[in-house]
């Protein structure tokens, strides 16, 4: 695979960052506009996919990150002490869903929806890196606002919040989608 100098620069940046790099910063670093940078990055991403490489480039909202191809997890596990993804308890999953769909949201708002104290669940999600503080609500007491992180996107294999399932469907619409034999 012969890469242009610009593609090689994008590849080097993504490799060196290790974390998501936003498209605007990459574009500035290589001296092109964001549209051209997105075209270069998507082209590089397609090449990696087409060639079934051991690494791939993923999109996380308006950022890109280089990571290993999940197809090779078993091989990586054999050589590295890779910790498997932790399973989320129903309580953590419920709290995470509320935060994902209502973000930014305060602990008090989460508790109003769930009907129980959310301290432990929110703190656990913050420790797991799935949720973070996103500021403070302009209200008495200035409560902390919580939102999902890039780790949340990686954990669920989505590139943005827009890819979350639509929860506005009515029960009737859901029933219509069930196929009977």
The whole-number pLDDT of residue 77 equals 78
Question: Which domains are seen in the chain, by residue range?
Answer: 5-73 (1.10.10.10), 90-171 (1.10.10.10)
pLDDT tens digit sequence for 119-160:
999 999 999 999 999 999 998 989 999 999 999 998 888 888
Predicted confidence at residue 96, as pLDDT, reads 95
**Tokens (6 digits) for 110:** 């989460």
The pLDDT of residue 4:
84
pLDDT digits (tens, 9 = 90+) for 81-113: 645 556 889 999 999 999 999 999 999 999 999
- Give yes or no for a contact between 124 and 107, defined as CB atoms under 8 angstroms apart: no
């Amino acid at each position: 695979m012969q890469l242009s100098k610009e593609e090689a620069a994008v590849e080097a940046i993504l490799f060196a960052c290790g974390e998501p790099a936003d498209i605007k910063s990459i574009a500035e670093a290589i001296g092109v506009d964001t549209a051209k940078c997105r075209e270069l990055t998507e082209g590089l991403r397609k090449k990696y996919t087409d060639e079934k490489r051991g690494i791939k480039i993923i999109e996380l909202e308006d950022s890109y990150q280089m990571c290993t191809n999940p197809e090779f997890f078993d091989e990586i596990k054999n050589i590295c002490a890779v910790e498997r993804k932790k399973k989320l308890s129903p309580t953590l999953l419920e709290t995470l869903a509320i935060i994902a769909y209502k973000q930014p949201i305060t602990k008090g708002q989460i508790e109003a929806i769930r009907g129980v104290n959310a301290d432990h669940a929110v703190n656990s999600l913050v420790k797991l890196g799935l949720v973070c503080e996103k500021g403070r609500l302009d209200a008495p007491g200035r409560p902390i606002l919580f939102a999902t992180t890039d780790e949340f996107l990686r954990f669920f294999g989505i590139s943005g919040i827009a890819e979350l399932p639509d929860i506005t469907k009515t029960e009737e619409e859901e029933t219509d989608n069930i196929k009977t034999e």
